[in-house]
Amino acid sequence: MSFNLFGQAITDQGGLLKNTLGTQVGTIDYQRGLIQWTSAAGAGTANLVITFKPATAPHQYYQSYAIPVTQNSQSLNWTGVLVPIPAPGSLSISFMVQGKFYELKDDGSGQLKGSSSSFGSGRINYETGSWSLTAGALPDVGSPILLLWGTPIATFARADLPVEKACFDFQLENVGIVPNVTVTWQLNGTTKTAVSNSQGKFTGDASGTVNYATGKIKLYPTKLPHKNTQFVFEYNYGTALEQTTVAILPDAQQKLSFSIGTGIAIQPNSVELSIPVSDMLNEYTGSVLLHDVPLNAETGSLVDSAGNIQGTITYATGACQVTPSAVKRVFKQIYTPMTIYSAA
């Protein structure tokens, strides 16, 4: 906040209003917008044009902490560290003296002040969460030092975020699906149709993919269907071919090279590979499940369930190059010895 008073430039310095010489001419209460002048402000009548940034203090306290006052701990000075760290202007510290509560509030600059300086003073560090309080009188034994504060709100701009298309997931009753799956549905009395091509991609009134090996379908209709719309699938299927390849040694980069199939071209979007893996010490073993995602009619990527590309396949020859990897999370209990002293 800043303004001119009787020809002097006044600026706000943590709630203290000072002129260019550093003389304090008043204070500002951020919560109430109340200015109190000192004798150094001068006397007279003046119109002030005040420049300030509007703000609001958190009124809903999400965090609280109480420190009991005992015979041994009773003191004028109190310190501590708050976790999570308070938002500027949100911390309130209350204590009881002779049965009456007194409150100090953060003024937004890290200084804790009451409605009267006789209540005491304090500070809060927004970087570390450390705080200190000097009470105006000894708090009552048996009462608490009560701290209330709010935390900064984590937000992000939702405007201009991309909106994902509505997706429908289906699992056909059969596997080993033949290309050219046809799906139809009704929308406003009109029949909508989408057909999959040799690469497992739908065209027509919807986009999407079909995995011919597993029968899993993702469908993105061009126009959103009504509630309870029924999708009708027409397709042919056969017996899925299975093959086991053994004695494959990885190279120095852990890449495997092998071929699948019977010598004829592989149908795109119909491959599923299960590759065993283990850690360096062979303590943990498992398998990586990969499926092909066609890049074009000739080649495809071999990806895991998370969409991570781990290899490639050439459909004409069935040649595969894969560097399989998996993550296994193991939770272990760690016991720490502790010495406990007690007395009878």
**Taking the chain (344 residues) in consecutive chunks of 10 residues, what is each chunk's mean pLDDT?**
88 85 85 82 86 67 87 94 88 94 89 90 93 95 93 61 84 90 95 92 94 91 93 91 86 92 87 89 86 90 90 94 87 75 55
- In the β-sheet with 206-211, what is the strand arrangement from edge to edge? 168-171, 216-221, 206-211, 201-204, 190-196, 182-187, 232-234
Q: Are residues 225 and 286 in the same domain?
A: no
Identify the domain boundary among 149, 178, 203: 149
Q: Are residues 130 and 186 in the same domain?
A: no
Q: Are residues 253 and 334 in the same domain?
A: yes
Q: Are residues 221 and 192 in the same domain?
A: yes
Q: Are residues 205 and 252 in the same domain?
A: no
First-to-last C-alpha distance (Å) of the chain: 62
Domain count for the chain: 4
| Domain presence at residue 55 | no
| Domain presence at residue 47 | no
Kindly give the pairing relationship between strand 182-187 and strand 168-171.
Answer: unpaired
| pLDDT given at position 103 | 93
Q: 301 exposed, middle or buried (CB, 10 Å; 0-12, 13-18, 19+)?
A: middle
| Domain presence at residue 208 | yes
| pLDDT given at position 51 | 87
Q: Are residues 262 and 330 in the same domain?
A: yes
| Domain presence at residue 159 | no
Closest CA to 44 of 20, 29, 25, 30: 25
| pLDDT given at position 61 | 58
- CA dist., res. 232 & res. 186, Å (int): 10
Residue 222 DSSP class: S
Range of the domain at 19: 2-41
Q: Are residues 204 and 186 in the same domain?
A: yes
Q: Are residues 261 and 341 in the same domain?
A: yes
Q: Computed from CA positions of residues 172, 173, 176, 179, in that sequence, does the dihedral angle turn out positive or negative?
A: negative
Global pTM reads: 0.44
| Domain presence at residue 158 | no
| Domain presence at residue 51 | no
84 cis-preceded (ω within 30 degrees of 0):
yes
| Domain presence at residue 127 | yes
Identify the domain boundary among 149, 183, 199: 149
Q: Are residues 265 and 297 in the same domain?
A: yes
Residue type at 203?
A: T
| pLDDT given at position 154 | 47
| Domain presence at residue 254 | yes
| pLDDT given at position 259 | 92
Identify the domain boundary among 149, 184, 218: 149
DSSP-H helix ranges across 105-241: none
